[in-house]
Structure 1
Amino acid sequence: MTTPQPDLQIQRSLTRPEQAALTIGRLAESAEPGARLGTKQELQERCGVSKGTFNEALRLLQARGLVTVRSGPGGGLFAAEPTPAVRIGNAMLALDRMETSAADAVRIRSALEPLLIDDAIEFAEPADIARMRQAIDEMSEAAKAQNVLDFLRANWDLHAAIARTSPSRILRSIYLSLLDVLASHTVSAGPADGRPLPDILNERLTLHSDLVEALASKNRQRAQELIAIHDRR
């Protein structure tokens, strides 16, 4: 089986708070639950960032369930015991740390999409289809302007709208986390195979527009055919 190759090449970078969160997160993951990692000042100095940047990193770590904060004598940051749900989320966020994160996210996302298409056929309401069509309109405007980043963001909004029709919380969570990996660290994009940019954007626009109309008409076979084409490109 070959890995789907995207026709738009994406480049990513971590922000300073994310870099600091990554450093402390690795400490927390390698420590025993409840182990003291250090004071805020000690860890801020270790990361070499400002207080504001460190506080933002701390919010990221707490949101991911990796650390707890205790005040008073002997206080500081402590390794948390992550719940199973947090472990799933952290596994998705861990893709950020790998040079192949975009390719991995695309590959895993592609494997999940047939399941989401089935759910969208079954559960999509008129309001869901309206949100999908709005994303298609935004993709169209970006294609006319040849704005690749806006096109990609509108495309991800479309896929997120499709994912949110699924009643499966686990499927939604994993898929939307993969989209976050792609969206959060995209700083530039361009054609990956030398083809003219307008041709790529218009081809992708047509494919996604046809997919939305297949979902709107509850045409399962056509929708699955289109998502298979989508994942081969």
Structure 2
Amino acid sequence: MMAGLTNIKNQALTERIEDHLFQYILDERLAVGAKLPNEYELADRFGVSRGTIREAVKLLVSRGVLRVKHGSGTYVASLMPLKADPLGLDAIEDRIQLALDLTDVRLMLEPAIAELAARNRTEEEAQRLTEYCDAVRRRIQAGEDYLIEDMRFHWYLAKCSHNMVVEPLMPIIDAAVVSIANITRKELLTATVDTHQEILNGVLDQDPQAARAAVALHLEMNRIVIKHAQKRSKETK
């Protein structure tokens, strides 16, 4: 029995370090192809053994985030956990219609996800979500690309839901964020900052309905811009 409990604790620790390691990659803005520090440095950074780091790396390798080159080191392979294109969306030629359809899917999912996040988030998660929201704002105000920060905010919002089925759906949401941002990012800069802040406020206040409404508003604004882009595209054909 004790051996079983030990295995469960070790697994939980490894999964926590996996999350921390992925967040480290995003926080440091490590690009695809960037080399990670060695096991000794990572173990010291996260306060765990090299064995735990090694197991966490294996999990991220299995999710396509990292790639280990024997004799060379560990490298970032992707910023999207799991499969980057789980539904084969890259093959769709009509990117505007795809963005519109993805927005509709997000409207089905994300308001409820935000509601769960407002109910279930921890204080530590609330603090980290605040940091991610602030990072989006800073990048936009500096006139810099904010796609990674935008993806990270929505990814972590979903993580705050504490729903085990939500995480496997995140590649779909990630794909939607990328597709939609490519169309709307120049027209919704101020709106993105404001609606992200309203989403955050709902989660911080543990107000599920406010969080739900803020996400719905955020997505409806994106949908309007995409519809306008679709109309312009048809008029030019």
Which one has a larger percent helix, Structure 1 or Structure 2? 2
Provide the C-alpha distance between the structure 2 equivalents of 1:222 and 1:138, rounded to a whole number of angstroms.
Answer: 22
Show the 5 A alignment for 1:39-118: 92-99=86-93, 100=95, 101-118=98-115
Show the 5 A alignment for 1:171-182: 171-174=166-169, 176-182=170-176
- Structure 2's unaligned 5+ residue stretches are 1-61, 65-81, 222-237
Provide the C-alpha distance between the structure 2 equivalents of 1:154 and 1:212, rounded to a whole number of angstroms.
Answer: 14
Provide the C-alpha distance between the structure 2 equivalents of 1:91 and 1:221, rounded to a whole number of angstroms.
Answer: 32
Provide the C-alpha distance between the structure 1 equivalents of 2:212 and 2:84, rounded to a whole number of angstroms.
Answer: 30
The answer to whether the Cα contact below 8 Å between 2:112 and 2:212 also exists between their aligned partners in 1 is: no
Rg: which structure is higher? 1
4+ residue runs of structure 1 moved beyond 4 angstroms? Answer: 88-91, 182-186
Of the three residues 119, 122, 133, the one matched with 1:122 is: 119
Provide the C-alpha distance between the structure 2 equivalents of 1:166 and 1:112, rounded to a whole number of angstroms.
Answer: 12
Q: Deviations over 1:47-69 (max 9, x none)?
A: xxxxxxxxxxxxxxx979xxxxx
Of the three residues 113, 135, 143, the one matched with 2:132 is: 135
- Structure 1's unaligned 5+ residue stretches are 1-61, 65-87
TM norm structure 2: 0.50
Q: Deviations over 1:83-141 (max 9, x none)?
A: xxxxx979833122212443333321221012211210221011111121111221111
Which one has a larger percent strand, Structure 1 or Structure 2? 1
TM norm structure 1: 0.51
Provide the C-alpha distance between the structure 2 equivalents of 1:121 and 1:92, rounded to a whole number of angstroms.
Answer: 28
Provide the C-alpha distance between the structure 1 equivalents of 2:143 and 2:111, rounded to a whole number of angstroms.
Answer: 29
Provide the C-alpha distance between the structure 1 equivalents of 2:177 and 2:219, rounded to a whole number of angstroms.
Answer: 18
The two structures, once aligned, show a CA RMSD in angstroms of 3.1
Which protein, 1 or 2, shows the higher relative CO under an 8 Å CA cutoff with sep ≥ 6?
Answer: 1
Of the three residues 157, 161, 169, the one matched with 2:156 is: 161
Provide the C-alpha distance between the structure 2 equivalents of 1:203 and 1:138, rounded to a whole number of angstroms.
Answer: 15
Provide the C-alpha distance between the structure 2 equivalents of 1:135 and 1:125, rounded to a whole number of angstroms.
Answer: 15
